[in-house]
Amino acid sequence: MSAQNAGNMRQAYTVLASSTFAFTICFAVWMMFAVLGIPIKKQLGLNETEFGLLAAMPVLTGSLVRVPLGIWTDRFGGRIVFFLLMLSTVAPIWLMSYATEYWHFLVLALFVGLAGGSFSVGTPYVARFFPKNRQGLAMGVFGAGNSGSALTKFVAPAMIVAAGGSWTIVPQVYSVAMLATALLFWFGSASRPEHKVASTASFATQLKMLKDPRVLRYCQYYSVVFGGYVAMALWMTKYYIGEYGFDMQLAAFLAACFSLPGGVLRAIGGWASDRFGAYRTTWCVMWVCWVCFFILSYPQTNFTVLTVDGPRTFHIGLNPWVFTALMFVVGVAMAVGKASVFKFISDEFSDNIGAVSGIVGLAGGLGGFILPILFGALVDLTGVRSSCFMLLYGTVCVSLVCMYFSFRSERVSHDEAVLAAHAQDTSKLVRKHA
């Protein structure tokens, strides 16, 4: 390896490390209502639907800004866009500690949610520093910043306890942390002029590829693996408290058993996608989620059977440890799936990763916004907490059907090519022995 290539790779790994750390902090901020929402819900007397809206509000803006942020990353470079994005959230995060009314929280959450747009900046920014055969792993390592969700579940409850039960300490600490992270990122990152899309390219030109049906297909997959991950990361702490009666610290810790692998192991998904291909990896992910959600959907149930000795009552339901184990498996599967979907993008849209990842990230983020609201509405309507998993089970069913029919023609062509090659080999063997 030449000295120049070695220097380029060192710079690439430095950019990857600084970007991943910055994304981790951004994601921790983006998911802070997974913990803060619980004392705020009690303080304001919110119902389940209102809690779902509050928890999901940052996800809305974090999703809507992904398309323009991805395009600006292509045009202006990821370093400056990422830096300014983090700075823009510092003041709203701090002001959250002074909010007293429900609408105060909703409005400030919209601005705090800008931190979630960092994914569509960092993904193309990091990928372009690496060769094509290593982009899946690089994007997977960066995507491991999703573990910021678990960081919030570890840190925020501890801060609340240390502050005597006051939740206002959390946004104040997070505001300072975001400012410090922005400065560290700026001094630890780099930029290359060749990574920018030519300045003559218009927004309309960059957006043309969004009409491609492949992009819509990847939007659907990502709305399940990322949207479902975000929704459950926001919902699980409260779910443990309501379903099993745990306190907030234990509930947040167990919820992190889903959030942590769902973020950290994304790098494995990048490696698997490079090794086995995006389609095979995503297909396996969907089947694992399908099985787990089917089991998780079953509510705690008591039923009575008339036996020869009289009525007997039985109980069916998941205890918290089996439930946590299944959630861990789902977290691993979704971590792999989030990386494999973006491997599709880097393979097929290498010149427009920013714009395409922005629209796919938007779809995933909107899933993360809508699902918590639907979770709350379903609980208010049915009173069944596991109804959230019933909904997720349905979304995975849709994904499996879409994948089967979307790639059916490709599988048929592959099978026909294999059969033709086999027939040709058989014909040669027959002629040889004739």
> Residue 149 — very low, low, confident or very high, per pLDDT cuts 50/70/90?
confident
Q: 10 Å Cβ neighbour count for 211?
A: 8
In terms of residue numbers, what domain contains 112? Answer: 3-191+212-433
Distance between CA atoms of residues 97 and 248, nearest Å: 20
Examine residue 205 and state whether it is found in any structural domain, yes or no.
no
Q: How many domains is the chain partitioned into structurally?
A: 1
Span 173-188, pLDDT tens digits: 999 999 999 999 998 8
Examine residue 264 and state whether it is found in any structural domain, yes or no.
yes
Check residue 276 and give its pLDDT.
82
Element (H, E) at 307: strand 301-307
Tokens encoding 343: 């491997």
pTM given for the model: 0.78
Residue 351 has pLDDT above 80, yes or no: no
Tokens encoding 2: 């030449």
Span 392-418, pLDDT tens digits: 999 999 888 888 877 665 544 544 454
Percent of the residues in the chain that have a pLDDT greater than 90, as a whole number: 34
CATH number at 293 reads: 1.20.1250.20
Examine residue 282 and state whether it is found in any structural domain, yes or no.
yes
- State residue 303 phi and psi, 5-degree precision: -140, 150
The set of residues, in sequence order, having a beta carbon less than 8 Å from that of 209 and lying 6+ positions away, is: 215, 349, 352, 355, 356
> Residue 199 — very low, low, confident or very high, per pLDDT cuts 50/70/90?
very low
Tokens encoding 344: 């599709």
Radius of gyration of the chain measured on its C-alpha atoms: 23
Any alpha helices (H) in 277-386, and if so which ranges?
278-296, 320-348, 353-382
Examine residue 198 and state whether it is found in any structural domain, yes or no.
no
Check residue 96 and give its pLDDT.
93
Residue 53 has pLDDT above 50, yes or no: yes
Distance between CA atoms of residues 141 and 269, nearest Å: 9
C-beta of residue 175 within 8 angstroms of C-beta of residue 26: no
Residue 159 has pLDDT above 70, yes or no: yes
Burial readout 41-67 (b: 16 or more C-beta within 10 A, e: otherwise): beeeebebbbbbbbbbbbbbbbbbbbb
> Residue 145 — very low, low, confident or very high, per pLDDT cuts 50/70/90?
confident
% helix, strand, coil for the chain, step of 5: 85, 5, 15
Examine residue 207 and state whether it is found in any structural domain, yes or no.
no
Examine residue 196 and state whether it is found in any structural domain, yes or no.
no
Distance between CA atoms of residues 358 and 243, nearest Å: 36
Query: Across the strands, what pairs with 326?
Result: none
Examine residue 203 and state whether it is found in any structural domain, yes or no.
no
Q: 10 Å Cβ neighbour count for 124?
A: 31
Please state, rounded to an integer, the average pLDDT across all residues of the chain: 83
Average of pLDDT values for 102-124? 89
Span 54-71, pLDDT tens digits: 988 998 898 888 778 877
Check residue 434 and give its pLDDT.
56
Span 249-304, pLDDT tens digits: 899 999 988 888 877 777 787 778 878 888 888 889 999 999 999 999 988 888 89
